Each structure stands twice: as structure tokens, then as C-alpha cells.
Structure 1
Amino acid sequence: MGDSIDESSNAAQSAQPQRHDDDDEPAGFFRRIIGVFSPGDDTQTDETRSDASAPGAMPGLRNLRDMAVEDVAIPKADIVSVPVSISRDELVDVFRESGMTRLPVYEGTLDTPIGMVHLKDFALRHGFNGQSSAYSLKKMLRPLLFVPPSMPIGVLLQKMQNDRRHMALVIDEYGGVDGLVTIEDLIEQVVGEIEDEHDVDEDQYFVRESPGSYLAIAKTPLDEFQAETGLSLTDAEEVDEEEIDTLGGLVFMLLGRVPVRGEVVEHPSGASIEVIDADPRRIKRLRVRLPDHKDA
């Protein structure tokens, strides 16, 4: 399996440009992080791995050795990707609606990935409205990394730094795509969650986007949100008020599992809760639409 992954990665790299200015990383920073734990320092027990990969595991340098790619990867069902046959206007729509700057590109199905398209390359070639020169997605493709799920995240972080890659596809034992991991996913296991410009400010739990629609972080206290909206979220039979006190906990209780990004949960009150951001271990951001505004 390892040989097939390496061959696929090498073939993709040989067909694509090897350097992109915006992918350069400050080498000193990554070397200081990666150097703390050498992947070959010692063998880890299953008990150690399970502690580090458990939901809610604390960020720290130890995770570089104790966590594997499969512990942090986005599941296949949650990957935003595009076919190589996608039109220019459709690609613009995917970039706009997903908020992603990098998208895997496949031929036929996602199990046949052929590269990655970067928003910057598209904008430089076609303008930010996608309306200039002749469109060819294949000419814009960058190579992807292909990695096994068992690879320690410290090893992958070092490989991403050396190869100047920000994204890797996780390949299962049959050669199919099993998930996706970004360099941000790996760094968050060391330094904690990295907020971006789309996140709610740290000092506020939620903001009103429009009448009846709220963007909230998962740790929003239920009592504060209910006081703001006048919506009762804990009176339903499915909800045990004594067991939960946050919006994220409410969603987890309703589903009985961690949801995937884009999943919509219908609350018994009539409200709908959309998962805006989540990883395999935790919910991050939510959009709540009140009952009278669900279809707005």
C-alpha cells in the first residue's frame, strides 16, 4: 500500500510545478515544533494513542507523536471537491459557497484524484470574476500529497513543510480516498484552534446575521442564547436539560454523534441548526434559524 501511495504522489509531483511562493512556510517555526519529538524516539502503546486521540484531547507538542492522520482528518463525506469537467462559472460558485481556497480535483469520482486547484491561481489567470482568458482547469492543477491513515501527524507536518503542500488526501488500504487533512488541522493539535476571519469574535458567543438567523460558536451557553432569541431549546423530550449547557452539546445530544460539516439538525421546537464547521472530534460553529425564518 505504501508503495502505491508513493508512486501516485511522485507521479503527480513530476507532472506539476514544484514551487509556489505563497506555499512557503517559515522553516524555523516548523523545525522547532517537529524537532521536539522525533517520530522514531520510542514506540507508543495503544493506551497512549487512545488518550491523545480522544475527543477533547488537549493541544500540545506530544500530539505530534501520539496522534495519527486518521485522528484529525476530515471524513470523505465532508470533503468539498470538484470534477475536472466542472465549468468556470460552476467553479466560481463552489469557491464562493464553500469559502475554501483549495479544492481537490478528481476525474470520475473522488477516488481518482488528479490534483488540487487553488483560488489564487484561478484569480490570477481569469480575474476574480472568472471572466477573462480561455479556461482550462487541468492547466491550473497543483499536486496533492497522498498519505496513509496511520501516519503520525508529526511526520506528515514535516513532509508538508518539505514539499510545500498545505493539503493531503488520506488513502485507505484499497487505494480509495478516506479523508482529507490540511496543515491547519495539524497545527491546531499543537497550538489549539486557529480562528479565521469567518469565526465569531472570541468575546462573543453569537452574532445575528439577519432576522431570525444567528451564527454561533459551539460553546455558546444555552441560557444566553435562549434569552436573546426567546426560543426554548431544552423543553423537548429529546433533550435532558441537566446534561447539556451549550449549543454544541445540544446538537450532539440530538444526533448522538459528532455531525459533519453542512449537516442540518431539526430541533423539536421548529428551529434548524446547521453545522458550519466541525472536525471528526468536535463541533465548532453553527448557524441557527428560528422557526419563523427557516425558509428565509
Structure 2
Amino acid sequence: MEITIKLLAVAILIVLTAFFVASEFAIVKVRKTRMEARAAEGDKKAEKSLKLLNNLDYYLSACQLGITITALGLGWLGEPTLEVLLHPVFDELALPPTVTGTISFAIAFFTITFLHVVLGELAPKTIAIQKAEAITLLLCRPLILYSKLMYPLIWLLNGAANIFVRMFGFQTARESDEVHSEDELRHILTQSYKQGEINRSEYQYVDRIFEFDNRTAKEIMIPRTEMAVLDIQDSVTSSIRSMKSKRYTRYPVIEGDKDKVMGLIHMKELVFMDDQDSLRPYIRPIMKVFENVPIHDLLVKMKKEHSHMAVLLDEYGGTSGIVTVEDILEEIVGEIRDEFDHEEEREIRRLKNGHFLLEGKTSIQDINEYFRVDLNHDDIDTISGWIYTQDYDASEGTIIQGGRLEFKIVDMEKGQIKKVEVWEKSP
């Protein structure tokens, strides 16, 4: 009868070990935001779970104390109990008492250790990691009850540990905030995408957000050479003809030169121009900013001033290019194509032979991301600029190597690289 009670006590200690191990790993692994969402929906168990997560240092100490107590209990009770059971078996073999004691102790020690490690620790840990939310909700109430009963001892041991930790200049678990770096968040995002928790569009949107703050207006601008403008000196008829042919919504208005931008005019103003001999009455103010302004700051400024277009100025005060709200939003949501954009060519197009055709204005950053290469672009922004840094005499037909890629100029116009063909080098 006594042996039966002791064996039952050993089983209970293993179950308690499993309880504390599962609780410890579950409350560390579970997502706090998920519990907050469930609590907001009225889930009482989630509210209890938040109590654990908001005081993680204390409850982890409670789990550690529980694991230590049960381990000591198993060592004190389990091995002697099994030894008593094994002695009669070895006595039947007529072995010397010393040999019998040694073998029975070894078998009892291995058996208790095996049960403690496998059933009490490894199995509960694996289950808790995979089912962290369910385990936390299931065990939160008994863990809170146990912590209240053992509060004096937990407070004493945890306080002593915190004093020791501070002596070496470290923060306690309560004092340190759990934060993630950008690289860690990207890794979490990638793993969530691979596991099917988020779809490809969601993954791409969030990934572009990280790149958003790293880019400047100069990198996404419509360059000066490609700006569609109206000249205040041209006739209204000529200006309307130009607006109809190019089909943009807004046009910068210049005074003889693109360095002298007076403002902008909206396409809808066409309906008011029938009896006018000048664009001047319809010109609206246009924002002017330095070309290296971060696009995040530029978007905030454009929203504040209700502006849809900004002129970018270089370090000498000349016009470098223009940026629209659409250009900025495309950095987050990808390319936005309207009913007229079918006439525009994509910056990176796949050819039938497996090669790719690039627009000369394609940014180096986009190429690096698309082809998974690392072209150095500290001082330039576009592939045409990069090619000239590699060969300042580059002409149509010139081939430049960059990492595992080869770039060939296929179209030039007045010294400006318009099209570039790219392919992977043969092994």
C-alpha cells in the first residue's frame, strides 16, 4: 500500500513538472496581441492570460520554482521507491548485496530521469510551443492560483535574483521591453508568408513599407529630360494640343526654360480656355523641394499643402525633375496603371529569349531587388548612370558585366541610354 502511494506521488510529480514546463514555454511563445484581441471580444480566459503576459517576469519565476520543487521531489521520492521494487528481483538472482544495490540504483536513476525528461519536460515543451495559445488559455487559472499560494517564496527568490542581475548591469525582465529590429520583423514576415499566414500581396505591401523610408524623391522622380511641360509663351491652342496628345492630368508651366517653373495647370482647365489667349489665369502654385528629401517627408508635406505634384531642385537650384503623389504611392502598392497607361512601357520586361529589357531610367535599387544582385550605386540612381560609371565611352552595343549579370545597351538617343538588355552570364 505504501509503495502504491509513493508511485502515485511520483506520477503526480511528473504531471506537475509537465504543467510548469508547458506553462513556461506557452506564455513565452504566445502572441500578446492575439490575447488582447480575444480579450477585447470578451474572452475571460484571455483576460486572465493577459495578467500572465503583463507580469511575465513574476510568472516565469513561479514556473521555475515549480519545476525545481517537482524535480527535487522526484529525486527524493522516485529513485528510492523504484530501488525498493527492484531489490526482490535481484535477490532472487543471489547477487552480492553491493552489486544488487548498485544495479538497482542505476536502473531506478535512469528510469526516473527518463520519465522526468521525456514526459515531464520534452513532450510538454514541444506541445506548448506548437499550441501556445490553447495551452496558455487552458493553464492560466491554475498557474495564477499556484502563484498566489507560493507568493512569499516567489517574491523572495525573484527579488534576490533581480538584485543579482542589476549588480552586473543588466535589466530585469520587467524593465526590458521586447522590441524587434527591422531585420527581425522582415524575418518574421518572411516566415509568416512561407507558412501561409499572410498572402503574397500582404507580404509585398509590408516589405515595401520598410523600403519606403529608405528612398529619396530623386530615386523615383520623372527626370527633367522626360518632363511634359507647357510654356507660358506658347499659344493656348498649342498648349491644348500638347495636353491632348500627352494625356496627363497636370502639367508644370515654365517660362522659356525648365529651370523656371512658374506653377502647374490642370487638364480640366481646358473647358475654360475657349476664349482665353493666355494660360496665366489658370496657373496654380507648385511645390518646390530639394531632390534628396525622403519620400516619406515629401508625402507628408504634399498632404499638408494639398499638392499633387512637386518640382525637385538640385544643389544648384536648377530643376532636377518632378514627383507626383502617384509616384510615391506606387512605392507602397506597386505600379498604378490607369486607362492611358497601356501606352507606357514597364521598366523591367521579360523577353521571349529569357532576357530582360530595362528602361534606362530604371533605378539601381529596383534592379538589385528584382535580380537579387548588389550593384554599387552610392553616387547614382539609375541603370544608365551605373553603366556610364563602368564605361564613360559606352555606346549602343556596349556590354557591361555586373555580378552574375550582363548589360547591353540596345537603344541610345543623343547620349542618353534608353533601353538596356540584361541576362545572366553563362557558367
Q: Provide TM-score, normalisation by structure 1.
A: 0.50
Max Rg structure: 2
Which structure carries more relative contact order (alpha carbon 8 Å, separation 6+)? 1
Counting strand residues as a fraction of each chain, which structure ranks higher? Answer: 1
